[in-house]
Every structure is written in structure tokens, then in C-alpha cells.
Amino acid sequence: MKYLHYFSLIFIVLFISFSCDKKEEVQLDMGYNYFPLEIGHYVTYQVDSFLYSDAAYPLIRIDTISYQFKEVIDTVYKDNEDRDAYRIVTYRRADVSAAWQVNRVWSSVRNVSSLVKNEDDLHFIKLIFPVNNSSTWAGNNLIVTDAENAYLNGWTYSYSNVNGSQTINGATYDTCVTVNQLDEENLIEKNYSVEQYAKHVGLIYKEQKFLGKQRNLTNGWDFPESGIWVRQIIIDHN
């Protein structure tokens, strides 16, 4: 009986230890890999922009601009708050036959609870951690939303489809999340912004619409008459 008691104690200790390890493993998955910060990591996108103009109304002019865009995590440095900041060099080319040209230099900083990305001196809180379907946050709260940036005021970000899969251009990404940034619509305008991220890849899809519209009373549908519609879709990554 003494040996049985001894082995029972060992089993209990091992069980508790294993349970603690499993609990710690679950807690560590905060979702940081939805935006991997690794030197040399890159993602390439196809970008299509549709510009609507009603300058010659009732004729609506639609101009299309298409190009390829690449983001490369270049280096890491200490910012003015002594945080690790990752320098992101962006490149642009007309199509696959053209040479890449440096476009802009952005940066990103991640802490325990959020990831902030600086795009053209606009600091967006792209993600908060842990990633879960119940989270909401003021993603543009670090931006002064006056004058030309007034359209960024009051956006409430939220997650949906956490850990769901997405198929884009024939490639399936198993673990993704959708960041709903803005979805407002009335009789005269539609404003919409959404991003999707895949673990170990980063941003895989982005779409924004800032459109003035008008209802066609004969056919009963809305059509854009001014504004912009942009889609950014992943085509390659490492």
C-alpha cells in the first residue's frame, strides 16, 4: 500500500504539471503571428483602384489604376520611446514585367496588447491582443482626424471569423481573421473598410470604398457617381 500511495502521488504531480503546461500554451497564443515581424519577410499584392467622377453628370467617368505593391520588413531599430520598431520598405511596379521601385518607408511597433502601423505618418492600431471575436477598439485613435484626415474619425474596429479560412487567388489560408474597420451606408454615400490577416503571413486582403451614390429610380439599384474603391489582394509571400 505504501508503494501504491507513492506512485499515486507521482501521477498526481505529473498530471498537474501537464495541465499547467497546456494552460500556459493556450494563454501564449495571443495572435501575434497574424502580423509576423521578421526581418526579410515580404508580401506582394495586386492593387486595383476605381475612381468615379461625376464632373460630366449624368455621364459617370470611371478611371482604373492597377499596379503591384510589396511590403518588406527591412530592419529593426529603437524608436524615440526605446521600443523595437520595424522598418517596412514598400515597393511599387506597374506589372510583373516591370522593375520594383522604392515607394514609401513605413514602420510598425508591437507590444503586449496591440500592433501599431505607421503609414505615411498615420498611426493605425491595426490589431489588438488577444485576437478574439468579442474585441472592439478605436483603431484610428492615434490619428489627429481634422482637415484632410477627418474621414478617419470615429471608426470602431472589430474582429470576426477568428481562425477561419480564406481562399484568395486559388490559395487557401487556414488560420485567418477579419478586421472590420468601417461599414456605413445611407441614401447618398457608402463608406467601407475591411482587412483580412493570415497567421505567419500578415495582411492578405484589403478593401476600401468611399463613394457618393445615387439611386436609379427606374431599375431600383444604387450606383457610384463619385469617390474611390480600392482592392489590395495578396499574390505572393515568403
Q: Is the pLDDT of residue 219 over 70?
A: no
Confidence at residue 165, expressed as pLDDT on a 0 to 100 scale: 95
Which has more confidence, 157 or 6?
157
Same domain as 75, residue 40: yes
Confidence at residue 59, expressed as pLDDT on a 0 to 100 scale: 75
Q: Is the pLDDT of residue 222 over 70?
A: no
Same domain as 68, residue 117: yes
The CATH number given to whatever domain includes residue 53 is: 2.30.230
Q: List pLDDT tens digits, range 50-103.
A: 999 877 776 778 899 999 999 999 999 998 889 999 999 999 999 999 999 999
Cα–Cα distance between 179 and 228 in angstroms, integer?
A: 20
Same domain as 214, residue 145: yes
Cα–chain center distance at 7? 52
Cα–Cα distance between 159 and 120 in angstroms, integer?
A: 25
Which has more confidence, 145 or 42?
42
Cα–Cα distance between 33 and 3 in angstroms, integer?
A: 47
| Of residues 64, 194, 38, 42, the one with CA closest to residue 126 | 194
Same domain as 61, residue 6: no
Same domain as 100, residue 6: no
Q: Is the pLDDT of residue 223 over 90?
A: no
Helix/strand/coil for 51: strand
What is the domain range of residue 211?
31-237
Confidence of residue 4 (pLDDT cuts 50, 70, 90): very low
Same domain as 111, residue 96: yes
Cα–Cα distance between 231 and 118 in angstroms, integer?
A: 20
Same domain as 136, residue 95: yes
Same domain as 180, residue 74: yes
User: For the chain, how many structural domains are there in total?
Assistant: 2
Same domain as 64, residue 99: yes
Confidence at residue 28, expressed as pLDDT on a 0 to 100 scale: 64
Confidence at residue 10, expressed as pLDDT on a 0 to 100 scale: 46
Confidence at residue 3, expressed as pLDDT on a 0 to 100 scale: 46
Q: List pLDDT tens digits, range 162-207.
A: 999 999 989 999 999 999 999 998 888 899 999 999 999 999 999 9
